[in-house]
Amino acid sequence: MDIKQLLQEIENKNAGQTEFLQALKEVFESLEPVIKRHPEYEKANILERIAEPERVIMFRIPWMDDNGDIKVNRGFRIEFNGAIGPYKGGLRFHPSVNLGILKFLGFEQIFKNSLTGLPMGGGKGGSDFDPKGKSDNEVMRFCQSFMSELYRHIGPNTDVPAGDIGVGGREIGFLYGQYKKITNRFESILTGKGRNWGGSLARPEATGYGCVYFTEEMLKTKGESFQGKRVTISGSGNVAQFATQKAMELGAKVISLSDSNGSIYIPDGITKENWEFIMELKNLKRGRINECSEKFPCEYHEGIHPWGFECDIALPCATQNELNGNEAKKLIDNGVIAVAEGANMPSTPEAADLFIANGILFGPGKAANAGGVAVSGLEMCQNHIGLSWSFKEVDEKLHGIMVNIHENALKTSEKYGSPGNLIVGANIAGFLKVANSMLDQGII
């Protein structure tokens, strides 16, 4: 099979879906040795089938703001691949959301979920609604309107959304309340729920902790650890917050965090008190990261990413394509030893290539940020058996899953001729399980 030609055909069909085409190209190119070794995938036309979502739902979300004006947003749910389990993946509320971005996220989710070892298919959804600057009541009315359409497409064994950028505990609460009101059913149709109503302990921590556990495994292969390392982290939302906490716990100095306006820089490392202030600032006051410089000594750099600060480890935890080739060069020149993606596809292809070419330990998002959805899978499991596990139990399971993902990606990279390249290893390992399930199930 000519993968280049196939990519060209898919590009023609999906013109303008830049992020989706970027994610697809990365996966398909790394699958070349698999397709050569296993002609059955080509025969069953698996690649062309896997590139096409099983279902795309797009809908109108009318809602009323606090002034009584009627607003309209666009809602989506992409049910990308259900070969290994119910569709699973977050909802993103951000003005940048469009079909191409959600298709990229849904596509990544197929392989990420497969890597967790849990029975979850790939899905993603969201809206171009911007929660920034909206009142709690506006967010509630928006979420209720969103669920008034979404409820008919989801179910505990069909499709189970969760949070992503712009969707946290508050939004999941409003969405869940509306689902229950419409259907009169209390069931596991969302994850990231509150702990009093079916949520799992350690779900808020899971993506950030998981990313650090994954990085620890990468570091171990070089006889290294987090102890005494300088870590630069982008973002200051859920993933960044708990990556910071865990890295600090393991003895690292977290020297920066950021938001879409700029970065803070604390050469001596964030303290526990600083971290608590940031948690309140971001989760309750919903303020901006520059407010830190009014509260404790730190430099604030307006309009820049935190990749120029000298560090040993970089954890991009904000959003897609936030770390480009020039920034990767800067990190490499400054002596970075490991980069792990807490966000989905934060490194551009040029940046990822540079990290691999320079022998930097590189954990791609599909593997390094799978901890969030993994604990979502554990939340579903607890809901199904009607039990609630302790924080320690969930955290230990999460740790075990991240260790397995690393081992699986590493071994697969060796088996398919790119030893140590975890992009190749994660893509192939994630793909094999889904592709074989598709083969087992016939022409679906």
Which residues are catalytic, by number? Answer: 124
CB closer to ligand GLU, 191 vs 244: 191
Measure CA 324 to chain center: 18
CB nearer to ligand GLU: pick between 117 and 420: 117
Q: Which range binds ligand GLU by CB under 6 A, 82-90, 146-154, 174-182, 268-276?
A: 82-90
Which residue lies nearest ligand GLU, judged by its C-beta?
90
Classify 101 as helix, strand or coil: helix
186 vs 386: CA distance, rounded Å: 12
Tell the smallest beta-carbon distance from residue 369 to ligand GLU (Å).
6
* Token pair recorded at residue 402: 């991240």
Residues 6 or more apart in contact with residue 109 via CB below 8 angstroms: 80, 88, 89, 122, 123, 124, 373
Inter-residue contact 212 to 247 (CB < 8 Å)? yes
User: Should residue 86 be labelled a site residue for ligand GLU when binding is judged by CB under 6 A?
Assistant: no
Instruction: Count residues binding ligand GLU (CB under 6 A).
Output: 10
* Pick 154 or 337: Cβ nearer ligand GLU: 154
| Closest to ligand GLU by CB, 327 or 341 | 341
Would you list the DSSP string of 265-285? Answer: E-TT---HHHHHHHHHHHHTS
Phi (first) and psi of residue 117, to 5 degrees: 85, 0
**369: nearest Cα among 343, 349, 346, 348:** 343
Restricted to residues 328-387, the positions that interact with ligand GLU (CB under 6 A) are 344, 372-373, 376
Site residues for ligand GLU, 271-330, by CB under 6 A, read none
CB of 278 to ligand GLU, least distance (A): 21
Beta strands in 174-327, from DSSP E residues, in sequence order? 230-234, 253-259, 262-265, 299-302, 313-316
From the list 23-31, 83-91, 269-277, 330-338, the region that binds ligand GLU by CB under 6 A is 83-91
Check residue 88 for interaction with ligand GLU (CB under 6 A).
yes
- Lay out the site mask for ligand GLU across 141-180 (x = CB under 6 A, - = otherwise): ---------------------x-x----------------
Q: Is the dihedral of CA 356, 360, 361, 362 positive or negative?
A: negative
- Considering only residues 178 through 207, tell me which ones interact with ligand GLU, judged by CB under 6 A: 191
Contacts by residues 289-296 (CB-CB < 8 Å, ≥ 24 positions apart): 289/236, 289/257, 289/258, 289/259, 289/261, 289/262, 289/263, 289/264, 290/261, 290/262, 290/264, 292/264, 293/264, 296/271
Task: State the nearest-atom distance from the C-beta of 344 to ligand GLU, in Å.
Answer: 5
The residue within the footprint of ligand GLU, chosen from 75, 86, 89, 204 (CB under 6 A), is: 89
Stretch that binds ligand GLU, among 48-56, 86-94, 274-282, 290-298 (CB under 6 A): 86-94
Based on the number of CB atoms within 10 Å of its own CB, is 251 exposed (0-12), middle (13-18) or buried (19 or more)? exposed
- Closer to ligand GLU by Cβ: residue 53 or 90: 90
By CB under 6 A, is residue 241 in contact with ligand GLU?
no
Binding stretches for ligand GLU (CB under 6 A): 88-90, 162, 164, 191, 344, 372-373, 376
